[in-house]
Structure 1
Amino acid sequence: MENQDQQVARQVHTCTTRLSVRGHRLARVLLHFRPIVMTSIAFILGVMPLIISGGAGAAARISLSITVFSGMIASTCLAVALVPVFYVEIEEFFNRRAKKQG
């Protein structure tokens, strides 16, 4: 029995020859989305006890943990959404430049 990741990997592999660079990269996003989000959620949930902590020095821990929490959410959104888009755009830029020169 295949799990979901194996099914997606098989579909991406079979479609690779028919897709453009943009389509291939966006298909790979589907493959990498779940591990990135699961790792980020585990980290964010690991910081949660620091956010709700009390006692001596809690103010310093809370301010630091809120910063880490917010930064991890922002970096996860950027990693999932913008990095593949920037990669495709840069790759297409260099492909167009190579066609103009050659």
Structure 2
Amino acid sequence: VIFLLCLVFIYFLLSAQYESYILPLAVILSIPAGIFGVFVAIGLTGIQNNIYVQVALIMLIGLLAKNAILIVEFAVQRRRAGQPLVSSALEAAKSRLRPIIMTSLAFIVGLIPMMGATGPSAQGNHSISIGAAGGMISGVILGLFIIPVLFVLFQAVQEKFSKKSQEEVRSYHEEPTINHELYETV
């Protein structure tokens, strides 16, 4: 229930940000790639699905959504500037690759001390760190391919059914009109 509420909350925030009910799906549907990685990582290491793994899942939803937002927001800006749909998605993924890799790598390296923790809370630390690292690795690697595809898909749907989006794209391609009557009177 909590995971569903997290996703609904993110969806509403993104709907307000993008002024669209369709485009946030590109962000939301990229998150399962990271969730898949969590369960693969804990399965390979023999960790049970406990409360610590679930905390890692909630944390991961926010971090992977942030990465997807970076790509989608940049693609939206390029699209509004009149760039072709596929080109804007590919350029967004290429230009956001380095910042996403750097922040994700810093996050994973920060989890390494928790992976080697000993003592009374070691099992909780192992669960959070291994789950979050596995999810971040798979979410970033798969997300860099999934997010641009989802953006192209949902942006095309939005442009097909939204006159506002079509007019915005057309307005960037048209020449600005100049009122020559103003210049003749001077």
TM-score per shorter chain, which class? 0.5 to 0.7
State the superposition RMSD in angstroms.
2.4
SS of residue in 1 equivalent to 2:120: coil
1:91 aligns with 2:125: no
SS of residue in 2 equivalent to 1:88: helix
1:54 aligns with 2:125: no
Take 2:128 and 2:88, find their aligned partners in 1: how far apart are those partners?
39
Higher RCO (CA-CA < 8 Å; seq separation 6+): 2
SS of residue in 2 equivalent to 1:38: helix
Query: Sequence identity of aligned pairs in percent?
Result: 30
1:35 aligns with 2:99: yes
1:21 aligns with 2:85: yes
Take 1:39 and 1:64, find their aligned partners in 2: how far apart are those partners?
18
Take 1:82 and 1:96, find their aligned partners in 2: how far apart are those partners?
21
Q: 1:97 to 1:47 in 2, by over 3 A?
A: same
Q: How many residues align?
A: 84
Query: Which amino acid letter does the alignment assign opposite residue 46 of structure 1?
Result: G
Query: Which amino acid letter does the alignment assign opposite residue 91 of structure 1?
Result: Q
Query: Which amino acid letter does the alignment assign opposite residue 121 of structure 2?
Result: G
Runs of 4 or more, structure 1, over 6 Å off, are none
Take 1:62 and 1:98, find their aligned partners in 2: how far apart are those partners?
48
Q: TM-score, normalised by structure 2?
A: 0.40
- Could you tell me how far 1:29 is from its partner in structure 2? 1.2
Q: TM-score, normalised by structure 1?
A: 0.67
- Greater radius of gyration (CA): 2
1:44 aligns with 2:125: no
2:140 equivalent in structure 1: 76
1:4 equivalent in structure 2: none
Verify the 8 A CA contact 1:50 1:61 in the aligned structure 2: yes
Q: Which residue, out of 120, 127, 142, partners 1:63? A: 127
Query: Which amino acid letter does the alignment assign opposite residue 87 of structure 2?
Result: G
